[in-house]
Structure 1
Amino acid sequence: MTSSALLVMDVQRDVVDLADDGSGYLPRLRGAIDGARAAGIPVVYVVMGLRPGDPEVGTRSKVMANVLRAGLFTEGAPGSEIHPDIAPRAGDVVVTKRRGSAFSGSDLDLVLRARDIDSLVLTGIATSAVVLSTLRRAVDLDLGATVLSDGCLDTDPEVHRMLVERLFPQWADVVTVEEWLGAIGTPRPLS
């Protein structure tokens, strides 16, 4: 029997401010979270967290240099908090990662193994960053994967479209939040 977890990745205040396109992303994601809870599916929040002074950031990483220039992800900074519209509840796990993938520098693998979770449902910002990196690692770990296409968001809509329509279906099931809620027995988002 497959045991799944919903991953809510990098939906932190500053990231939402940069990426939210006014399409109703946060309410849709809230519906997925509420649906997962109603179906007994664990919700695991993944946040990017860099220590003050950025000791884990090397000089050769172009991606991390861009993150530092943008002033994102410093642990304890208000902008690095999980967005309050989708905030964790008691019993939800929050995992801190140090790089793009939810597995990089985190204890996510330990959390999944401890709960006998063998399948992931991926959501988050950005499709071309945390979602892509985490999906690739999940495939390498032989985990089942579903990507909620409208539960992901990217600052480049064309890159998002290409990933969810062309690349991700090669590695995972790709469905909308509404389709996934119907499949788990929660036909519409809960309020």
Structure 2
Amino acid sequence: MQNQTNNAALLVMDMQNGIVSRLGENTNVLVQVQKAIETARKNQIPVIFVRVGFSEGYPEVSPQNKSFSLLPKYGGMTVSDEATQIHETIHPLPNEPVVTKYRVSAFAGSNLEIILRSQQIDTLVLSGIATSGVILSTLREAADKDYILTVLSDACFDPDPEVHRVLTEKVFPRQAAVLTVNDWTNSLTSN
């Protein structure tokens, strides 16, 4: 396996209060994300946090957008709202960027690609919620942008376990290595 510490970054996506709160008793993903963050920091792999949030007044939200069009009516999810803040169990260090996106993909309307290019990062390790949302959208866009990709299957969560299984076992392997956090950690120590 290629050495994945040289131009890699760990993306911790949508691990924000308003999304993590929907996990219920499925908190194992938090433990795995914490382990992935520890591994990245120990191996000097940059950790980049990605969240979804909108400006006051929701100028970024189209009434045609099925996912976000009700936000202006009900409120919440602004960049200053508690729901968009990174969950306290995995808080960023002062030097770790928090990227705000306006759609499902981590690249959508964010400065993520500028950060990656500025740091000459060509390898992305993906984690977050939901497997069928931010992970899928980011993986597809990143693959089209020619990034080398790894998905940490147990550091991702989807409310539908079957969807998570199909994506991690059948769809993602076409464009990414799919590893558990332990397997990823072991691959870094064996290089």
Query: Normalising by the residue count of structure 2, what TM-score does the alignment of the two structures yield?
Result: 0.91
What pairs up with 1:137-152 in 2 under 5 angstroms?
137-152=141-156
Provide the residue aligned with 2:21 in structure 1.
17
Provide the residue aligned with 1:52 in structure 2.
56
Of residues 62-71 and 106-115 in structure 1, the stretch that sits farther from structure 2 once superposed is 62-71
Amino acid at match of 1:114: S
Provide the residue aligned with 2:42 in structure 1.
38
Provide the rounded CA distance (Å) in 1 between the counterparts of 2:150 and 2:13.
14
CA deviations 1:19-60 (Å, max 9, x no partner) are: 354352212111110110000100000011111221111111
Provide the rounded CA distance (Å) in 1 between the counterparts of 2:50 and 2:124.
13
Measured after TM superposition, the shift of residue 70 of structure 1 is 7.5
Provide the residue aligned with 2:140 in structure 1.
136
Quote the RMSD (CA, aligned, Å): 1.8
Q: How many residues align?
A: 186
Amino acid at match of 2:35: G
Provide the rounded CA distance (Å) in 1 between the counterparts of 2:111 and 2:30.
26
Provide the residue aligned with 1:189 in structure 2.
none
Provide the residue aligned with 1:124 in structure 2.
128
- Mark the runs of 5 or more structure 2 residues left unpaired by the alignment: none
4+ residue segments displaced more than 3 Å: 66-72
Provide the residue aligned with 2:104 in structure 1.
100
- Mark the runs of 5 or more structure 1 residues left unpaired by the alignment: 187-191
Distance 1:125 1:20, change over 3 A: farther
Provide the rounded CA distance (Å) in 2 between the counterparts of 1:71 and 1:168.
34
Relative contact order: is structure 1 or structure 2 higher (C-alpha 8 Å, sep ≥ 6)? Answer: 1
Provide the residue aligned with 1:85 in structure 2.
89
Alpha-carbon contact 1:153-1:160 (below 8 Å) kept: yes
The question of 1:180 aligning with 2:177 is answered no
Provide the residue aligned with 1:26 in structure 2.
30
3-state secondary structure, aligned to 1:181: helix
Amino acid at match of 1:184: L
Provide the rounded CA distance (Å) in 2 between the counterparts of 1:46 and 1:162.
24
Alpha-carbon contact 2:125-2:150 (below 8 Å) kept: yes
- % identical aligned pairs: 45
Counterpart of 1:110 (choices 100, 107, 114) is 114
